[in-house]
């Protein structure tokens, strides 16, 4: 060891006064430093350390860090650069030794990323954050700490801007600034070139008033969001966010989230166009930008990008006219927006043509036909799995929700029509009527030879006579599926060891039969049919790649689609194939039946079953032509061939055991579906029919014939359930769902799994659909947007439960006097029905006064007056009235209690709060006996009195109550239907009128209008009896503007007026004046100051209104 | 018999109208025999059925048939040997008793009695056909009661006369149970004076035959039209108040035989004729365009 430089010795001495860690670090470092540095430089190095250490009380820590870091830094820096670096540290140390320590600690990893001249800048950035407080110091330290991670993903310039932002943010909140710093290293690597924009965005956020709290979310969301945007467009996307934040609208975070989500769903190539539109939009309405990007995928799913621009232009036009309606447009919450989209798009949406297609199908099928999207049947989980394929079940025709394959609307509609027609003719031409007993018209019946006799059902004697004289099963006890079958279709498929293949073949033969018959009987649609068939043919996958059996089925499918030449077939199978083709052509004959299709399928099956399912080498293929020849004679060995049906079963079992070895034979797989033909599930359809029948019988008290176990066993065998496709769709679930579908009883727990009464749908959830029976869907008027929110409310119609008739009697007795008076009054109205009209040019009799005058005139030689007759003119009283009773919770209040108006206004938006609020409002409602009268009691009394009056008049009338909770649950109770005769049932129902939930008047009124509209009467009156303003969860705009409800109600009433219905509103709300004026306008209304007058006043008003 | 005859028209007294050319009629069941039997026994007949299904045609056909020398009436040695006139009254809301029985009119010398169509039919022994009887006011319907029981008399109150019906007189009414409201239901005291023959639209094959004859179209087109009719009738009560009548189908067929394209003919004769509702029209058009090219 060389002799120590005395200067170093003195430094060492100095250092030893500090805690021992300093000297230790010095000693460790100096060993390495002495190698790297000249003597002079070594001294400078050591001296710097000492200078740092002596700076302040705690600066020894910084010195320690200096010594350990310097060793690692030295290799990067020339000594000339090293000195400024250490000097920076020294300077920092003056501000805070902690920061200096952090600076030194971070240096070894940071410096490699920096140019020497940037080092000073870097330390300066750190220093700029330090403001002398301990929080700022911590922030500054944090900065140095994460610097190594930041640099690889950003330039120095960006870092500068970023730190300036952090500095600004720190003035708001140090905690927030620290958090953002921590988050930054995970965000920036994702940002790529858009870092600059991002910094700019967050800087704006930190600047903008009040929005700085969103900064952290922006870091959290932004990093993830940005990855969904196409790389080159990220800056533009963030630019939009920045402009949004500058606008002061807020919602930057939701923009980042929803906007990126929307863009993420798009093809990346569409991003520039969409963002260009977004940039145009934001200058007009910043609030519209997030919804716009969110709906763009929906819009682009239906229209092309150029059409998107047209749609967009309409929205912009609306925006300039009216912000709110423009906003609703871009949210796709206005009818106009949907119409616009529909006009532009070539796709045909089922929901928009449902009515037409429904009527069309009804006309063809001759019975009630409901139309529903195919997905709905899939959701029922009863065996159907494809939401894109049409199918028919019972009286419901399930169709794909959107057809958009072709470029024009007409073509797409034509395709939908073909699809619908094909399904409907299944019913019209009897696909599901397949019966064991019906003989075939074109073939010798082979079914009796192979089908097991039917042993289940109520006609056992019919199953007995089979040609071979097989003994019918004696056992009439519980029937297992193995010995018999529930439906004829199932019995047919039971014949085949390979059910899947049998179903495929039967589908081909039956579809061929139907298509041929459609072409004959519906010549108008033939062209569309041929086009769709040709398209389907073009989409088929190459037959030559299929193994033999699948290839043969595919071969037949192609024939059924009209291909007649260039049909690929293995040369050794050509003869067989020709024979099979004949069978397919034969079922296309006039007058063929489903049984013919089954017989043909049976024959084809035995042919194909006789072919080993090998793949066929390419040199074996030949291409054949099929002549239009459908002459058929069963081959002589037909019966012999039928044995394949039995033998195959054993073989299969063997095969399954030996399958591991394999002999080149593959298991059968179905060819692809023919799209327009949808899903054909004859077995399931027949089964459902059978189950519905069974259910009816059971309801009539007969013992059940079908148990769940049987059903499961049956489903397990059916080829129509996709095996393995859906893991959660096991046969047991399907069986359960099937039983629920037909209304069979299930253990209580399971049946309760269905939708409860309150299915909560978000207000933002967009249009609804009325799917369940007795529901209708209505638009709702958004007065700000000046347009309807399409399909916004679902009204559920229920018949009021029946209570005790005693209530009715009591009211009659206590009000006997008043009732007698009312009856008398109303009976007086009646005899005015005939009136004698005099001096008519034509009539029953001479009007003698007129006649005498006429004769005198005539004698005088004056012109003869011709008005000399009279006649009776009948004035028909033809009135229909619908009373709509408010059954909201507030009607449960006692009438003499002071009615505070304030709580009316405070319906909470949050569902949970709302229910609590309602419960509180209902208060003592659950108590068994009340001593006070409630508003609803008066409503009930009033309706009873009114019924007396109406019965005396003979007017047509209906009484309904409404309440509900949320737009998806508007409850509409029938107390007396317009078309129902007064009966004790009605009397009982009145007893059950009770206060329930909220008051969404609009949909209830619209539903009433629909009812009145169906009635034939000269005068129609809608009489609304309420106790307050309309209110409901979400019955407002953004939860604040309560006028929304008032305006919607008004609009609904106006709709009625347009249909010639006279609306009248009677309210008992003392505070009613303010809103009723808006709501009713020039339509009639009355506010009852004394609520107890209601029972008396109602008949009076009615008389005034209609007489 | 012919009162006035011009180059393009002829005027008849109401009771002189006799069906001379055999109207084309395809029976659906044994309605001809039933009617003949009723006629022989002088039992009034009520024809029920939807509009345009052939009720009026049936009455004309029967009037012709009963006028033939070989008809049941002649064979059974009925008193009358001449033709049976047919008096048709289209009923409407304002049809009063005097419209049917007759009334006084003013003329130069004072008033003059004019017989109404019913009175005339009673006098000459005609078939009196009251078309769409429910349309009349209830007080008018009562008027026919004495004519429809064993008395067979028509009181003419204003003249103070009782008119006994001649042997050949028969009252026939038509009634469409479908469309009128409960208000316009036929009173039981009226209903129960008639035997009722129910009419319905013929099955497609029969209807095709009718269309072929009436419209002069090929059997093939006639079958398609009949099929269309059948399909459209499925929409009754589901958007349509009433299905397409045979009459409308004939109109469509006639237009086609004039060279109007099938789809267009169906549109004007059926689609637009049946409904004003755009959706319903569209649905029917789809059915038309499925059946006709």
B 84-113 residues with CB < 8 A to A: 96-98, 103-104, 106, 110-111
| A23 vs A25: CA distance, rounded Å | 5
In this structure, the strands spanning A391-393 and A396-399 are: antiparallel
Residue A494 lies in a domain: no
Asked if A663 reaches chain B (Cβ–Cβ under 8 Å), the answer is no
Residues A185-208, mean pLDDT to the nearest whole number: 78
> Å from B16 to nearest chain A CA?
25
Q: Range with the lowest mean pLDDT among A330-334, A861-865, B172-176?
A: A861-865
Residues A1001 and A1101 in one domain: yes
pLDDT at A854: 83
Chain B positions in Cβ-Cβ contact with residue A363 (cut-off 8 Å): 231-232, 234-235, 283-284, 287
pLDDT at A765: 61
Residues A51-56, mean pLDDT to the nearest whole number: 83
Given a cut of 50, whether residue A478 has pLDDT beyond it is: no
pLDDT at A927: 42
Asked if A855 reaches chain B (Cβ–Cβ under 8 Å), the answer is yes
Question: Which residue in A365, A864, A1016 is closest to B106 by CB distance?
Answer: A864
pLDDT digits (tens, 9 = 90+) for A432-466: 888 888 888 888 888 888 777 655 444 434 443 44
Residue A485 — pLDDT band, cuts 50, 70, 90? low
| Mean per-residue pLDDT over chain A, rounded | 77
Is B7 within 8 Å of B55 (Cβ atoms)?
no
Cβ within 8 Å of residue A30, ≥6 positions away: A8, A42, A46, A67
pLDDT at B181: 44
Asked if B255 reaches chain A (Cβ–Cβ under 8 Å), the answer is no
| B234 vs A424: CA distance, rounded Å | 13
**Neighbour count for residue A320 (Cβ, 10 Å):** 11
Residues A607-629, mean pLDDT to the nearest whole number: 84
Please give the span between the terminal C-alpha atoms of chain A, in angstroms, as a whole number. Answer: 126
Residue B228 — pLDDT band, cuts 50, 70, 90? very high
| B148 vs A232: CA distance, rounded Å | 94
Residues A325 and A220 in one domain: yes
Share of chain B above pLDDT 90, in %: 43
Is A1000 within 8 Å of A970 (Cβ atoms)?
yes
Q: Do B106 and A868 touch (CB under 8 A)?
A: yes
Is A392 within 8 Å of A423 (Cβ atoms)?
yes
Residues A125 and A206 in one domain: no
The length of chain A, given as a count of residues: 1107
**Which of A310, A336, A362 lies at the terminal end of a domain, its last residue?**
A336
Residue A4 — pLDDT band, cuts 50, 70, 90? low
Strands (E), A841-966: 845-846, 869-874, 879-886, 956-964
pLDDT digits (tens, 9 = 90+) for A817-837: 777 777 777 766 554 555 677
**Neighbour count for residue A979 (Cβ, 10 Å):** 12
Given a cut of 90, whether residue B195 has pLDDT beyond it is: yes
In this structure, the strands spanning B10-11 and B153-156 are: unpaired
Given a cut of 80, whether residue A611 has pLDDT beyond it is: yes
Residues A948 and A1063 in one domain: yes
Residue A510 lies in a domain: no
Asked if B129 reaches chain A (Cβ–Cβ under 8 Å), the answer is no
pLDDT at B221: 92
Counted domains in chain A: 3
Given a cut of 80, whether residue B99 has pLDDT beyond it is: yes
What's the domain range around A262? 177-336
Tokens 């969904």 label which residue? A228
Is A463 within 8 Å of A455 (Cβ atoms)?
yes
Chain B positions in Cβ-Cβ contact with residue A356 (cut-off 8 Å): 279, 282-283, 286
Given a cut of 90, whether residue B121 has pLDDT beyond it is: yes
Residues A199 and A99 in one domain: no
- Which residue of A lies nearest to B158 if distances are taken between CA atoms? A845
> Å from B169 to nearest chain A CA?
25
Q: How many CB pairs under 8 A join A and B?
A: 86
Q: Do B282 and A366 touch (CB under 8 A)?
A: no
Q: Do B293 and A368 touch (CB under 8 A)?
A: no
| A671 vs A553: CA distance, rounded Å | 7
Q: Range with the lowest mean pLDDT among A366-380, A612-626, A1064-1078?
A: A1064-1078
| A918 vs A351: CA distance, rounded Å | 35
Asked if B235 reaches chain A (Cβ–Cβ under 8 Å), the answer is yes
CA distances from B69 to A180, B1, B63, B81 (A): 112, 20, 12, 8
> In the beta sheet, which residues pair with residue B120?
none
Residues A81-108, mean pLDDT to the nearest whole number: 85
Residue A829 lies in a domain: no
- Give domain limits for chain B: 4-198, 204-291
Residues B153-178, mean pLDDT to the nearest whole number: 87
CA distances from A583 to A431, A507, A604, A629 (A): 18, 13, 8, 9
What string of DSSP letters covers A1007-1026? HHHHHHHTS--SEEEEEEEE
Given a cut of 50, whether residue A550 has pLDDT beyond it is: yes
pLDDT digits (tens, 9 = 90+) for A941-996: 888 887 877 777 777 888 898 887 878 888 888 888 888 878 888 888 888 888 88
Share of chain A above pLDDT 70, in %: 82
pLDDT at A903: 43
Given a cut of 50, whether residue A913 has pLDDT beyond it is: yes
pLDDT digits (tens, 9 = 90+) for A156-194: 888 888 888 888 888 888 888 888 888 887 778 777 777
**What's the CA dihedral at A759, A765, A769, A771 to 10 degrees?**
-30
Chain B positions in Cβ-Cβ contact with residue A417 (cut-off 8 Å): 286, 290
| A261 vs A649: CA distance, rounded Å | 54
| B239 vs A357: CA distance, rounded Å | 13
Chain A positions in Cβ-Cβ contact with residue B96 (cut-off 8 Å): 843-844, 871
Burial of B213 (0-12, 13-18, 19+ CB in 10 A): middle
| Mean per-residue pLDDT over chain B, rounded | 85
Residues A917 and A1025 in one domain: yes
Which range scores top for mean pLDDT: A580-589, A834-843, B12-21? A580-589
Nearest to A510 by CA among A425, A607, A415: A425
Q: Do B96 and A360 touch (CB under 8 A)?
A: no
pLDDT at A875: 61
Residue A367 lies in a domain: no
pLDDT at B218: 93
Cβ within 8 Å of residue A365, ≥6 positions away: A424, A427, A428, B234
Residues A131 and A195 in one domain: no
Residues A261 and A325 in one domain: yes
pLDDT at A453: 65
Residues A188 and A131 in one domain: no
CA–chain centroid gap for A1092, Å, is 46
> In the beta sheet, which residues pair with residue A835?
A873
Nearest to A282 by CA among A326, A230, A325: A326
Question: Which residue in B98, B110, B231 is closest to A844 by CB distance?
Answer: B98
Question: Which residue in B106, B181, B234 is closest to A366 by CB distance?
Answer: B234
Given a cut of 90, whether residue B129 has pLDDT beyond it is: yes
Residue A837 lies in a domain: no
Given a cut of 80, whether residue A655 has pLDDT beyond it is: no
pLDDT digits (tens, 9 = 90+) for A231-283: 788 888 888 888 888 777 777 888 888 888 888 888 888 888 888 888 888 88
pLDDT at A850: 84
Q: Do B224 and A365 touch (CB under 8 A)?
A: no
Share of chain B above pLDDT 70, in %: 90
pLDDT at A466: 40
Strands (E), A470-597: 567-570
Burial of A597 (0-12, 13-18, 19+ CB in 10 A): buried
Say if domain B4-198 classifies as CATH 2.40.40.20: no
Residues A1019 and A985 in one domain: yes
pLDDT digits (tens, 9 = 90+) for B23-49: 999 998 899 999 999 999 999 999 988
Residues A122 and A71 in one domain: yes
| A572 vs A607: CA distance, rounded Å | 13
Q: What is the CATH number of the domain that holds A1084?
A: 3.40.50.410
């Amino acid at each position: 060891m060389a002799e120590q430089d005395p200067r170093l010795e003195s430094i060492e001495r100095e250092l030893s006064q500090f805690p021992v860690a300093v000297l230790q670090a010095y000693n460790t470092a100096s060993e390495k430093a002495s190698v790297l540095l000249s003597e002079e430089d070594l001294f400078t190095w050591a001296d710097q350390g000492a200078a740092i250490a002596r700076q302040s009380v705690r600066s020894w820590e910084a010195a320690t860090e200096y010594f350990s870091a310097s060793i690692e830094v030295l290799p990067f820096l020339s000594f000339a650069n090293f000195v400024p670096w250490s000097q920076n540290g020294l300077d920092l140390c003056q501000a805070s030794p902690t920061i200096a320590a952090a600076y030194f600690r971070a240096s070894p990893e940071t410096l490699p990323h920096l140019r020497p001249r940037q080092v000073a800048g870097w330390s300066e950035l750190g220093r700029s954050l330090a403001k002398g407080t301990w929080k700022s110091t911590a922030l500054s330290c944090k900065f140095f700490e994460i610097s190594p991670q930041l640099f690889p993903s950003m330039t120095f310039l960006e870092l500068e801007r970023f730190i300036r932002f952090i500095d600004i943010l720190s003035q708001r909140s140090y905690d927030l600034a620290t958090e953002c710093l921590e988050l930054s290293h995970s965000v920036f690597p994702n940002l790529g070139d858009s870092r600059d924009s991002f910094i700019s965005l967050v800087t704006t956020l930190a600047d903008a008033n009040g929005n700085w709290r969103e900064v952290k979310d922006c870091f959290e969301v932004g990093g993830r969001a940005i990855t969904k945007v196409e790389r080159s467009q990220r800056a533009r996307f963030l630019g939009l966010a920045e402009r949004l934040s500058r606008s002061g609208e807020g919602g930057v975070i939701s923009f980042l989230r929803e906007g990126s989500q929307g863009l993420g769903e798009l093809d990346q190539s569409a991003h520039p166009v969409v963002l260009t539109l977004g940039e145009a939009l934001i200058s007009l309405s910043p609030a519209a930008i997030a919804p716009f990007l969110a709906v763009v995928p929906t819009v682009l799913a239906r229209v092309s990008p150029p059409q998107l621009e047209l749609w967009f232009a309409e929205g912009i036009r609306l925006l300039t006219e009216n912000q709110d309606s423009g906003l609703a447009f871009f949210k796709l919450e206005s009818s106009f927006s949907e119409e616009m989209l529909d006009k532009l798009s070539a796709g045909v949406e089922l929901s928009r043509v449902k009515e037409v297609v429904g009527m069309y199908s009804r006309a063809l099928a001759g019975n009630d036909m409901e139309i529903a999207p195919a997905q709905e049947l899939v959701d029922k989980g009863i065996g159907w799995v494809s939401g894109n394929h049409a199918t028919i079940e019972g009286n419901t025709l399930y169709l794909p929700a959107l057809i958009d394959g072709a470029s024009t609307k007409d073509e797409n509609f034509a395709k939908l029509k073909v699809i619908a027609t094909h399904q409907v003719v299944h019913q019209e031409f009897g696909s599901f009527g397949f019966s064991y007993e019906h003989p075939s018209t074109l073939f010798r019946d082979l079914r009796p030879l192979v089908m097991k006799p039917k042993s289940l059902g109520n006609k056992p004697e019919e199953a007995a006579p089979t040609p071979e004289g097989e003994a019918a099963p004696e056992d009439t006890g519980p029937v297992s599926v193995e010995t018999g079958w529930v439906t004829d279709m199932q019995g047919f498929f039971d014949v085949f060891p390979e059910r899947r293949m049998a179903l495929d073949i039967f589908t081909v033969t039956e579809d061929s039969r139907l298509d041929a018959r459609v072409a004959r009987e519906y010549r108008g649609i033939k062209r569309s049919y041929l086009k769709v068939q040709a398209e389907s043919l073009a989409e088929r996958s190459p037959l030559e790649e299929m193994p033999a059996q699948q290839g043969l089925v595919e071969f037949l499918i192609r024939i059924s689609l009209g291909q007649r030449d260039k049909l690929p077939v293995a040369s050794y199978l050509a003869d067989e194939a020709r024979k099979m083709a004949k069978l397919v052509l034969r079922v296309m004959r006039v007058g063929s039946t489903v049984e013919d299709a089954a017989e043909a399928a049976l024959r084809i099956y035995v042919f194909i079953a006789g072919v080993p399912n090998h793949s066929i080498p390419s040199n074996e293929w030949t291409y054949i032509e099929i002549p239009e020849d459908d002459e058929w004679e069963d081959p002589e060995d037909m019966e012999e061939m039928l044995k394949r049906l039995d033998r195959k079963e054993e073989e299969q079992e063997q095969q399954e055991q030996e399958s591991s070895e394999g002999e080149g034979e593959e298991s059968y797989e179905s060819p692809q579906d023919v799209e327009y033909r949808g899903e054909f599930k004859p077995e399931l359809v027949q089964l459902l029919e059978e189950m519905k029948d069974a259910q009816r019988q059971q309801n009539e008290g007969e013992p059940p014939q079908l148990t769940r176990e049987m059903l499961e066993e049956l489903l397990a065998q059916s080829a129509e359930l996709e095996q393995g496709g859906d893991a959660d769709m096991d046969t047991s679930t399907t069986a359960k769902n099937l039983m629920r579908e037909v209304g069979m009883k299930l253990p209580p727990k399971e049946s309760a799994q269905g939708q409860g009464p309150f299915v909560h749908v978000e207000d933002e959830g967009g249009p609804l659909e009325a799917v369940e029976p007795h529901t209708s869907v209505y638009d709702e008027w958004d007065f700000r947007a000046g347009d309807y929110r399409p399909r916004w409310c679902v009204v559920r119609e229920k018949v009021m439960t029946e209570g005790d008739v005693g209530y009715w009697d009591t009211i009659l007795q206590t009000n006997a006097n008043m009732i007698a008076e009312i009856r008398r009054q109303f009976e007086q109205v009646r005899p005015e029905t005939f009136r004698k009209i005099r001096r008519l040019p034509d009539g029953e009799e001479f009007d003698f006064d007129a006649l005498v005058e006429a004769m005198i005139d005539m004698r005088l030689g004056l012109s003869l007056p011709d008005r000399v007759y009279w006649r009776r003119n009948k004035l028909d009283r033809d009135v229909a009235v619908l009373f709509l009773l408010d059954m909201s919770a507030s009607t449960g209040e006692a009438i003499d209690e002071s009615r505070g108006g304030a709580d009316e206004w405070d319906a909470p938006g949050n569902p949970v709060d709302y229910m609590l609020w309602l419960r509180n409002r209902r208060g003592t409602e659950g108590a068994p006996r009340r001593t006070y009268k409630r508003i609803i009691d008066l409503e009930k009394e009033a309706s009873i009195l009114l019924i007396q009056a109406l019965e005396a008049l003979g007017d047509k009338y209906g009484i309904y109550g409404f309440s509900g909770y949320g737009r998806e649950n508007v409850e509409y109770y029938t107390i007396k239907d317009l078309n129902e005769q007064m009966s004790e049932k009605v009397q009982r129902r009145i007893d059950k009128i009770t206060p329930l939930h909220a008051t969404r008047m609009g949909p209830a009124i619209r539903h009433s209008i629909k009812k009145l509209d169906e009635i034939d009467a000269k005068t129609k009156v809608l009489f609304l009896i309420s106790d307050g303003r309309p209110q409901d969860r979400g019955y407002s705009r953004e939860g604040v503007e309560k006028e929304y409800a008032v305006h919607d109600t008004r609009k609904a009433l106006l709709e009625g007026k347009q249909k010639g219905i006279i609306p009248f509103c009677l309210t008992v709300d003392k505070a009613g004046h303010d809103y009723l004026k808006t709501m009713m306008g020039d339509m009639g209304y009355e506010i009852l100051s004394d609520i107890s007058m209601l029972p008396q006043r109602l008949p009076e008003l009615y008389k005034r209104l209609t007489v | 018999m012919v009162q006035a005859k011009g180059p393009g028209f002829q005027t008849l007294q109401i009771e002189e109208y006799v069906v001379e050319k055999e109207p084309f009629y395809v029976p659906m069941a044994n309605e001809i025999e039933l009617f003949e039997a009723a006629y022989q026994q002088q039992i009034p007949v009520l024809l029920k059925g939807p509009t345009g299904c052939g009720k009026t045609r049936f009455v004309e056909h029967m009037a012709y048939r009963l006028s033939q020398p070989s008809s049941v009436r002649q064979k059974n040695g009925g008193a009358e040997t001449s033709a049976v006139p047919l008096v048709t009254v289209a009923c409407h809301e304002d049809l009063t008793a005097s419209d049917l029985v007759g009334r006084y009119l003013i003329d130069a010398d004072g008033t003059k009695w004019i017989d109404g169509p019913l009175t005339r039919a009673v006098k000459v022994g005609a078939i009196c056909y009251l078309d769409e009887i429910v349309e009349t006011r209830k007080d008018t319907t009562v008027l026919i009661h004495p004519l429809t029981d064993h008395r067979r008399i028509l009181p003419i109150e204003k003249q103070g006369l009782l008119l006994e019906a001649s042997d050949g007189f028969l009252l026939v009414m038509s009634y469409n149970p479908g469309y009128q409201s409960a208000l316009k239901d036929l009173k039981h005291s009226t209903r129960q004076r008639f035997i009722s023959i129910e009419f319905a639209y013929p099955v497609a094959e029969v209807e095709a035959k009718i269309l072929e004859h009436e419209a002069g179209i090929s059997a093939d087109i006639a079958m398609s039209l009949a099929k269309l009719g059948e399909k459209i009738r499925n929409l009754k009560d589901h958007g349509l108040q009433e299905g397409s009548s045979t009459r409308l189908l004939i109109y469509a067929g006639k237009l086609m035989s004039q060279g109007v394209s099938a789809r267009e003919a169906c549109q004007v004769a059926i689609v637009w004729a049946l409904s004003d509702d755009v959706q319903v029209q569209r649905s029917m058009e789809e059915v038309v365009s499925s059946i006709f090219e």
